[in-house]
């Protein structure tokens, strides 16, 4: 048995059935106009994966999250895959992949006529540390891409259109069971 950071660890629960991983963390990236130096930005991310574990290396389900991008709150809803690389180990590397669409339900802006989310992509790798209670602590690092479109109409053939592609590094900590 391994004791680390005050927690005593057992084996990761890898039985077939319902599984959940809930995480929160930061998104790291740079933003800036084309002709100026980019500025580093840090923002918040949280997500919850709910799925069914078929084998230790494959669980499939739905991931719902909340991401903040420069004042734009996005609610990504994705199909998700999760899997542990090693079977029945105290500490195991894992992979995660979420592909879906970012919703703009919380990103209202009265100065715009429309704002809509687009593709959401979030591959990640990490480590899962099993506890004696059947849960696990997770740490992961990944890449997150979110598309956002917005605009305003000034007339029948005139308007302003904004197309954002947020590319971020995600660093998250969570719990799974």
**pLDDT tens for each residue of 57-109:** 999 999 999 999 877 899 999 999 999 999 888 999 999 999 999 998 876 77
Question: What is the model's pLDDT at position 153?
Answer: 79
92 in a structural domain: yes
Residue 79 resides in a domain = yes
14 Rama sector, left if φ>0, alpha if ψ -120 to 50, beta otherwise: alpha
pLDDT tens sequence across 2-58:
344 444 444 455 679 999 999 999 999 977 655 567 778 899 999 999 999 999 999
Within a domain: residue 4?
Answer: no
Cβ atoms of 96 and 126 within 8 Å: the answer is: yes
Count of structural domains, the chain:
1
Q: Does the pLDDT at position 166 exceed 50?
A: yes
Taking Cα atoms as reference points, which of 138, 139, 141 lies closest to residue 169?
A: 141
Domain assignment present for residue 3? The answer is no
Assess contact for 164 and 151: CB atoms under 8 A. Answer: no
Taking phi over 0 as left and psi of -120 to 50 as alpha, with beta for the rest, 128 belongs to beta
> In this structure, are strands 136-153 and 159-176 parallel, antiparallel, or unpaired?
antiparallel
* Domain range for 65: 9-30+39-176
Q: Give CA–CA dist 3/6, Å, rounded.
A: 6
- pLDDT of 119 > 90? The answer is yes
Identify whether 149 is part of a domain.
yes
Residue 1 lies in a domain: no
Q: What is the pTM of this model?
A: 0.83
Does residue 150 lie in a domain region?
yes
Task: Please report, for the domain that includes residue 94, its CATH number.
Answer: 2.40.160.20
* pLDDT at residue 149, as a whole number: 83
Residues 169-176 have a mean pLDDT of 98
54's CB contacts (< 8 A; 6+ apart) are 16, 60
In this predicted structure, what is the pLDDT of residue 14? 63
């Amino acid at each position: 048995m391994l004791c680390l950071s005050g927690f005593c660890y057992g084996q990761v629960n890898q039985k077939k059935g319902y599984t959940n991983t809930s995480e929160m963390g930061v998104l790291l990236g740079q933003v800036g106009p084309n002709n100026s130096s980019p500025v580093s930005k840090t923002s918040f991310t949280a997500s919850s994966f709910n799925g069914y574990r078929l084998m230790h290396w494959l669980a499939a389900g739905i991931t719902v999250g909340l991401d903040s991008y420069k004042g734009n709150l996005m609610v990504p809803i994705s199909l998700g895959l999760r899997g542990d690389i090693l079977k029945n180990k105290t500490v195991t590397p894992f992979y995660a992949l979420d592909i879906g669409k970012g919703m703009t339900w919380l990103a209202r802006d009265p100065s715009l006529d429309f704002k809509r989310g687009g593709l959401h992509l979030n591959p990640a790798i990490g480590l899962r540390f099993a506890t004696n209670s059947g849960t696990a602590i997770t740490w992961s690092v990944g890449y997150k891409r979110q598309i956002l479109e917005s605009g305003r109409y000034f007339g029948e053939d005139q308007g302003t259109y904004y197309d954002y592609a947020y590319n971020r590094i995600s660093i998250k900590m969570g719990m799974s069971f």
